[in-house]
Structure 1
Amino acid sequence: MKIAVICAMQEEIAPFRINSDITGREVMGKTVIEHAVREGRELLLVESGIGKVNAAVATTLVADRHRPDLIINTGSVGAFDATLKVGDVVIPTSYIYGDVDATCFGYAWGQMPQMPPSYEIDAAWLERLRVIAQEEQGNLPYRLDFGLALTLDSFMSEGERVQGILEKLPDTKVSDMEGLAIVEVGQRYEIPVIAVKSVSDIAGHGAESADSFDENVELAGRHAVHFTEFLLRSLSSEVATAEPQA
């Protein structure tokens, strides 16, 4: 199975580079695609750049050039759910755009015209992640949760705006600036996309949110990678079990 891991920032992709052998590198504008071997598994490590457009371009390039069987988006998120803390990990079960409003045309809030109201993560992959979460519960130095994620072009530090979104979408767990773009492109190419995100800041706390992001983005990156590695190992185990014995 060919797997691409997409992160927005160097701080988020860096934990994957540790203990990986980089065998090749492609640079196209903001997109960096590294061919890596990690624990015997080949991976495409992709640094996309920040924001929806950069994420969509990077995902399109990876899909066109390499046709991965699975895309994993990892990195940092801001927490909308007041019970989440910095370092906690959230697995998005669905994505909605948090800065789209075409309700005057009869669309749901957050729905891009002529597009779905939400983007659901593949049910089979979600179930696999739930099983891993249950099996590894005692090995996780953070809380793990599942739920709705938003993607926006804004860093969500403004409390009034966060509250306004929660009034419309009260089940929102977290927000990022790339995830839904990656999911949407993946669906166009019929490539499943899953996301593993870790909280770097609590949304709606002004300058405190920004300071928290700066201080904790590397921690968030490490925690997101930590849980992702459980999935990668489970996939490697399946491959090893399926190989014929000499």
Structure 2
Amino acid sequence: MNAPEADKAHADIGLVCALPMEIQPFLDRCEHVKKYTGGSYVFRGGFLDRIKVAAVQTGVGFARARAATQALIDAHSPPWVLSVGFSGALKPGMKIGDIVVATSVCDLHGQELKNDVHFPEDPEHGLHVGRILNTDEIVRKAEDKLKLGESHQALAVDLESLAVAQICQAEKKGFMAIRAISDDCSADLPAEVVSILSETGAVRAGAALGAVLKRPESIKEMWKLRGDASHAATRLASFLDGVVVQLYDARH
């Protein structure tokens, strides 16, 4: 099997994520994975069995996600683009590692794009199907998450999926948002999570050290957050494996 041409190859499936750890467990399942940069974005391409996949790491936020999704489509012209990664639960009872498949993505300003997705819901086994809400910043407080879930009738919140959906609509690409719950409604996220995460998705070492010096107990909270994120990424990889195969087989 030949490895893909890094910056020219057509891909069967495109993946858009904000952070490298969101997609790494999935890429670990792939072969011939190559990493390269295009503009200010990091791309990775490889094969899941016979299926060519291309992933772009956007960094955090709406504008970066829009630009990176456009760059992914321009470089690889995938018929399907998936917005994947972490999300915060907006409903009580959802657990770390639960999967959310979006039937629509909306924001706080009244924009919404519906997605004609027919997926069997199975909340008891951690699979939820419904609306995903995009916000402009991380929603830290459990109380705020519950209020947003109620007011927008949404299951989960992230920062990028609507941006990806908008570009896919404009480019007439198939779109799905598939998110793994990395923080639930049982507790607030530590305040330091906002300061240590840079726009590109890299962890600011200086900010992390400063946070620990100011509030030593934050190191325990951040360590738990990392463990929760790792579990969510592993669950996401397993679910994506099946979705990518289904989307590919439906076209061939």
Report the TM-score when normalising by structure 1. 0.76
Q: CA 1:166 to 1:73, structure 2 compared with 1: closer, same or farther past 3 Å?
A: closer
Q: In structure 2, how many angstroms separate the alpha carbons of the residues matched to 1:141 and 1:44? A: 32
Which residue of structure 2 lines up, in the alignment, with residue 42 of structure 1?
52
Which residue of structure 2 lines up, in the alignment, with residue 118 of structure 1?
112
Aligned with residue 227 of structure 2, among 197, 210, 215 = 215
- Where does 1:113-152 land on structure 2 (aligned, <5 Å)? 117-121=111-115, 123=116, 126-127=117-118, 130=119, 133=120, 142-152=125-135
Query: Are positions 1:90 and 2:84 aligned together?
Result: no
Aligned with residue 28 of structure 2, among 18, 33, 38 = 18
Q: CA RMSD in A?
A: 2.6
Aligned with residue 61 of structure 1, among 57, 62, 71 = 71
Q: Which runs of 5+ in 2 are unaligned?
A: 1-10, 194-220
Query: Are positions 1:233 and 2:227 aligned together?
Result: no
Preserved contact between residue 12 and residue 248 of structure 2 (Cα < 8 Å): no
Q: CA 1:221 to 1:155, structure 2 compared with 1: closer, same or farther past 3 Å?
A: same
Helix, strand or coil at the partner of 2:155: strand
Which residue of structure 1 lines up, in the alignment, with residue 200 of structure 2?
none
- Residue 119 of structure 1 aligns with an amino acid whose one-letter code is L
Query: Are positions 1:76 and 2:83 aligned together?
Result: no
Helix, strand or coil at the partner of 1:172: coil
Preserved contact between residue 90 and residue 148 of structure 2 (Cα < 8 Å): no
Q: In structure 2, how many angstroms separate the alpha carbons of the residues matched to 1:235 and 1:181? A: 21
Report the TM-score when normalising by structure 2. 0.74
- Residue 229 of structure 2 aligns with an amino acid whose one-letter code is V
Preserved contact between residue 91 and residue 149 of structure 2 (Cα < 8 Å): no
Preserved contact between residue 81 and residue 174 of structure 2 (Cα < 8 Å): yes
- Where does 1:188-203 land on structure 2 (aligned, <5 Å)? 188-203=170-185
Q: CA 1:9 to 1:19, structure 2 compared with 1: closer, same or farther past 3 Å?
A: same
Deviating 4+ runs (over 6 angstroms):
none
Q: Which runs of 5+ in 1 are unaligned?
A: 99-109, 112-116
Query: Are positions 1:155 and 2:132 aligned together?
Result: no
Q: In structure 1, how many angstroms separate the alpha carbons of the residues matched to 2:30 and 2:58? A: 19
Q: In structure 2, how many angstroms separate the alpha carbons of the residues matched to 1:144 and 1:159? A: 21
Which residue of structure 1 lines up, in the alignment, with residue 3 of structure 2?
none
- Displacement, 1:88? 0.8
- Residue 114 of structure 2 aligns with an amino acid whose one-letter code is E
Identical residues among aligned pairs (%): 21
